[in-house]
A and B are shown apart, each in its own frame.
Chain A
Amino acid sequence: MKFHLDEKEKGFILFDALVGVFFGTIFLVAFAELILNGVKMSYVNNSQLKAKFYLQELIEVTKDLEQTPSGWQTIINTSCNDSSPCYPTTSGSDWILVSDPSKQTLENNTYTRWLTIEDVYRNPTNQIVNRTDPGAVLSTSTKKVIATITWNNGRQTSTLVTYVYKY
Chain B
Amino acid sequence: MFINIKNKKGFTFHLFPRKKMRGFTLIETIVGLFLGILIIIIFTDVIAWGIFKINTIKNLEKLHSNAIFLVNNFNYWIKQAENLDATSSTGLPPYDTLNIKFPDSSTTTIKKVNNSIVIGNTTSTTPDIEVQELAFTKMARSVQISLTINATGTNNATFTAKTTVAQRNKP
Residues of A within 8 A of B (CB): 2-5, 17, 21, 24, 28, 31-32, 35, 38-39, 42, 45-46, 49-50, 53-54, 56-57, 60-61, 63-65, 67-68, 71, 90, 93-95
Q: A60 contacts B166, CB within 8 Å?
A: yes
Q: B60 contacts A42, CB within 8 Å?
A: yes
Sorting the interface of chain B by its residue count into under 10, 10 to 19, 20 to 34 or 35 or more gives 35 or more
Residue in contact with A32 in the complex, picked from B16, B50, B159, B164, CB distance below 8 Å: B50
Contacts of B42 in A (CB 8 A): 28
Residues 48-75 of B at the A interface (beta carbon under 8 Å): 49-50, 53-54, 56-57, 60-61, 64, 67-68, 71
- A46-B64 CB under 8 A given contacts A53-B71, A93-B138: yes
Q: A56 contacts B139, CB within 8 Å?
A: no
Q: B165 contacts A2, CB within 8 Å?
A: no
B39 proximal to A (CB < 8 A)? yes
B170 CB to closest chain A CB, in angstroms? 7
Identify 11 residue pairs between A and B in the complex whose beta-carbon atoms are under 8 Å apart, listed by A's number. Answer: A28-B43, A32-B50, A35-B50, A38-B54, A53-B162, A60-B163, A64-B142, A67-B140, A67-B141, A71-B140, A93-B140
B129 CB to closest chain A CB, in angstroms? 15
Contacts of A90 in B (CB 8 A): 137, 139, 144
Contacts of B139 in A (CB 8 A): 64, 90, 93-95
Contacts of A63 in B (CB 8 A): 141-142, 166, 168
Tell me, in angstroms, the Cα distance from A90 to B142 when the chains sit together: 12
B137 CB to closest chain A CB, in angstroms? 8
Residue of A nearest to B32 (CB): A17
Contacts of A24 in B (CB 8 A): 39, 43
Residue of B nearest to A70 (CB): B140
B8 proximal to A (CB < 8 A)? no
- A68-B47 CB under 8 A given contacts A21-B39, A38-B57, A53-B163: no
